[in-house]
A and B are shown apart, each in its own frame.
Chain A
Amino acid sequence: MQIIKSLLLTTLLLPVLAMADVSLINTAYKVVLVEQANGAVTEEWQDLGRVVPGDTIGYRISYKNSGTETASDVAINNPIPKNTDYLANSAKGLNSQITYSADMGQTFARAAELFVIKDGKQQLARPTDITNIRWSLAAIAAGAEGSVEFKVRVQ
Chain B
Amino acid sequence: MKLQQALWLPAVVALSAVSLNAAAVGTVAGTDVDNVATLDYKVGNTSQPTVSSKPTDTGTEGDPTSFTVDLKVDFDLTNDLPTLQSVDNSGGASFVVSQIKLLNNSNGPVDFSLTYNEQSGDFSLDDGTSYTGTNGDTLNFGGLTYGSSVANTVTFYLSNSSTLNTATAVQLTSSTTTATTSALSLTGKSDEVSGAAAMLTGGIPADDGTGTVGYVYLFAVMDVEDGFVGDDGAKAALLATVNADTAYDKDGGSYPATAGATGTAANMEVVEVVMADDDLDNEETAMSGIQLTFPDLEVIKTVEVTDDSLGGSTQSAIPGATLTYTLTVNNLGSLAASNVVVEDIIPANTTYVASSVKLDGATPATSSYDDTTDPSNPVLSVTIPTITAAGGSDDQVVITFEVTID
Contact = CB atoms under 8 A, between A and B. Distances in A.
Interface stretch (B46-54, B192-200, B257-265, B349-357): B46-54
B365 interface: no
B57 interface: yes
Nearest to B7: A115
Given A114-B10, A115-B7, A155 B35 contact: no
A142 to B, nearest CB: 10
A71 B43 contact: yes
Contact of B25 (A53, A79, A101, A104): A53
B35 A103 contact: no
Contacts of B3: 113
Interface stretch (A1-9, A20-28, A37-45): A20-28
Contacts of A115: 6-7, 10
Contacts of A61: 37, 53
B43 A19 contact: yes
Contact of A122 (B7, B48, B53): B7
A84 B20 CA distance: 10
A129 B124 CA distance: 47
Contacts of A129: 10, 14, 17
A155 B20 CA distance: 10
Given A109-B6, A155-B27, A83 B51 contact: no
Contact of A74 (B29, B39, B69): B39
A13 B15 CA distance: 42
Contacts of B39: 22, 24, 63, 74-77
B348 interface: no
B43 A114 contact: no
Contacts of B107: 52-53
Contact of A107 (B6, B26, B27, B46): B6
A71 B42 contact: yes
Pick the most buried of B9, B12, B23: most chain A CB atoms within 10 A of its CB: B9
Interface in B1-47: 3, 5-7, 9-15, 17, 20-21, 23, 25-27, 29, 31, 33-44, 46-47
Given A22-B39, A24-B53, A59-B65, A16 B33 contact: no
B9 A75 contact: no
A72 interface: yes
Interface residues of A, number: 62
B272 A50 contact: yes
Nearest to A99: B6
B274 interface: yes
B11 A116 contact: yes
A78 B37 contact: yes
Contacts of B21: 85, 128, 155
Pick the most buried of B14, B15, B107: most chain A CB atoms within 10 A of its CB: B14
A125 B14 contact: yes
B193 to A, nearest CB: 22
A136 to B, nearest CB: 10
A65 to B, nearest CB: 9
A53 to B, nearest CB: 3
Pick the most buried of A50, A78, A128: most chain B CB atoms within 10 A of its CB: A50
Contacts of A25: 53-57, 59
A119 B51 CA distance: 38
B110 interface: no
B337 to A, nearest CB: 57
B274 A52 contact: yes
B85 to A, nearest CB: 38
Interface in A106-124: 106-107, 109, 113-118, 122
Given A20-B41, A24-B38, A59-B65, 8 more contacts: A16-B46, A25-B56, A52-B274, A84-B33, A85-B21, A103-B13, A115-B6, A117-B14
16 contacts: A15-B48, A16-B48, A22-B41, A23-B51, A24-B52, A24-B54, A27-B56, A28-B66, A52-B26, A76-B37, A107-B5, A107-B6, A115-B6, A116-B14, A131-B17, A155-B26
List 10 tightest A-B contacts by C-beta distance, closest first.
A53-B26, A26-B53, A52-B72, A116-B14, A24-B53, A117-B11, A71-B41, A103-B13, A78-B37, A102-B10
